Structure 1
């Protein structure tokens, strides 16, 4: 009886041992398969790398194309700007010649005056050409002259400066068709000559003093050189220039001494400033 019990126990233990061994083997095989499977499939994620790289290359190529195209566009814009610069320079020269003629005309006190309406028209065009659209508040109704000038400027609205220059030149030409005679200036659409400072013969109308007259109270914003140019004090102005003061110095209103000389019709002051390399194309800023 005891022998049978031992036999049964041995069989049970053997079966149990076999089961455990089989279980262990299955675990080991499963573990090996798990380890080998990633190593065999590792290259698979690399398969799309080709297309991805191609996509990156395409993006880079497109970016390169866009970058290459930008300079071309910029080059075209630069070409346009160059042409515009040439045209603008010619127009500026013609406009400067017209304003110089106005200054010379103002110096001739024997010249016939033109109507206030024409003076105001020239004033408005001048302000648009040099400062742009009117942005200053309307003067008091008690300041009749200042209010009339403001209205002449304001009614031109947002007229482009180039158009204002052309109209200014055309108006001067309409008043005095021969004002360009004798000079070498050539502007787009017209050929003629700008008047020199030593031009002889009848001058244009005296409208500078009225047209460009500014309100009082700006003396505190001026340097001495501007006051001398405005008042026509040649000796004092010459001392300023010899003292090293820039002839292109701007006052509190953005005007240069040449602006004031032209404004007041001081031909001798204008000549002195021009000979001292004053910027004849300077605009009020």
Structure 2
């Protein structure tokens, strides 16, 4: 648990930051919510000590992984990163919060995140605010993956024309352009990648294929397109999970189970 060593003013500012995130949570994407969630938990509960959820509990696994990534972080550093990240995406947030919410209200909010009542995207998430805030970057600062996440087909096509090696390039989580495309459900981007013979069965750091991502995010048209280009439904990730087991949607699970 966090101590009072940081001082009452510091902790009060942190509480106000938490209150502001609660207010704007509907406008935050999954990466941002996960980033804040992990640091809130680290600041208030200390290092993650709960067992890792199985893959079928996809949202629970995401939250556990993000919290576990910051297990070495002090409570003060966790609160500092929380507030710095919020200032980055909303510089005037302190002017919008005249008084922080009660500890009970904030606990209830993050408990709702824990229980899934505050929805997080089911796709693979990264732990940096930069990836969750691509729109704040200037064009010259954006990477190939930024353009892919945004669904900017022309920019990605331009990169491919310059160097086809980008089709196999992976980010820090082992995700390729195809993984990100299937996570976000960008059909036109996927068509571009398929025209350029992208590997639809590439695996990320957890052994998950683009089909795992499309299934967990319930992008049915993306799944159908992948299957029409020989995506393998029988590849298991490191937890032994098939793409058909990575979704709670019965029709998608049936689609992935009935392919011959």
**TM-score calculated relative to the size of structure 2:** 0.37
Higher helix share: 1
TM-score normalised to the size of structure 1? 0.34
